[in-house]
Amino acid sequence: MNYRNHFLTVNPEKEEFVTVDGQTFGCYGIITELVTEQTDLTAFVLQYAAPLLKPGDILLLSEKMVACAQGKARPLDSIHPGGLARFLCRYVRKTEYGIGLSMPETMQCALDECGVFRILLAAAAGAAGRLFGKKGWFYRVAGYKAAAVDGPCEFTIPPYDRCVVPAPSHPGQTARMVSKILGCTVLIIDCNDIGGRILASSHRKLNRSFFLRVLTQNPLGQSREQTPIGILRPCPQSPDLSRMREK
pLDDT one-digit tens code per residue, 163-193: 999 999 999 999 999 999 999 999 999 887 5
182 in a structural domain: no
Q: Is residue 175 part of a domain?
A: no
238 pLDDT above the threshold of 70: no
**Domain-located, residue 203:** no
Q: Residue range 151-159: average pLDDT?
A: 86
Is residue 54 in a domain?
no
* High-pLDDT (> 90) share of the chain, %: 64
pLDDT at residue 243 tops 60: no
Is beta strand 23-30 parallel, antiparallel or unpaired with respect to 17-20? antiparallel
Give the chain's count of helices (H) and strands (E). 9, 10
**Range list of H helices, 91-237:** 104-114, 116-131, 137-142, 144-147, 171-182, 208-214
Q: What is the mean pLDDT of residues 43-49?
A: 95
Closest CA to 234 of 15, 57, 22: 57
Average pLDDT, the chain: 88
Q: What is the DSSP letter of 217?
A: T
202 located within any domain:
no
In a domain, 218, yes or no: no
For residue 107, give its domain range. Answer: 74-164
Question: What residue type is assigned to position 206 of the chain?
Answer: L
Query: In the prediction, which pLDDT does 4 show?
Result: 41
Q: Report the share of the chain in percent with pLDDT over 70.
A: 90
Residue 46 lies in a domain: no
Q: Is the peptide bond before 158 cis (omega within 30 degrees of 0)?
A: no
Task: Give residue 223's identity as a one-letter amino acid code.
Answer: S
CA distance 233 to 110: 35
- Compute the distance between CA of residue 30 and CA of residue 46 in angstroms, rounded to an integer: 13
Task: Check residues 103 and 153 and name the one with the higher pLDDT.
Answer: 103
Q: Is 12 exposed, middle or buried (0-12, 13-18, 19+ CB in 10 A)?
A: exposed
Q: What is the pTM for the complete model shown?
A: 0.88
- Whether 189 maps to a domain, the answer reads no
Q: What is the pLDDT of residue 180?
A: 96
Q: Decide the pairing of beta strands 185-192 and 58-62.
A: parallel
The answer on pLDDT for 128 being more than 90 is: yes
Rounded average pLDDT over 49-77: 96
Q: Please provide residue 7's backbone torsions phi and psi, each rounded to the nearest 5 degrees.
A: -150, 160
Query: Nearest-5° angle of CA 172, CA 173, CA 176?
Result: 85
The number of distinct structural domains making up the chain is 1
Distance CA 152, CA 28 (A): 25
- Identity of residue 155: F
pLDDT at 1: 43
94 versus 202: which is more confidently predicted? 202
Q: Does residue 97 carry a pLDDT above 70?
A: no
Does residue 121 have a pLDDT over 70?
yes
CA proximity to 112, closest of 172, 36, 171, 166: 166
Q: Is the pLDDT of residue 50 over 70?
A: yes
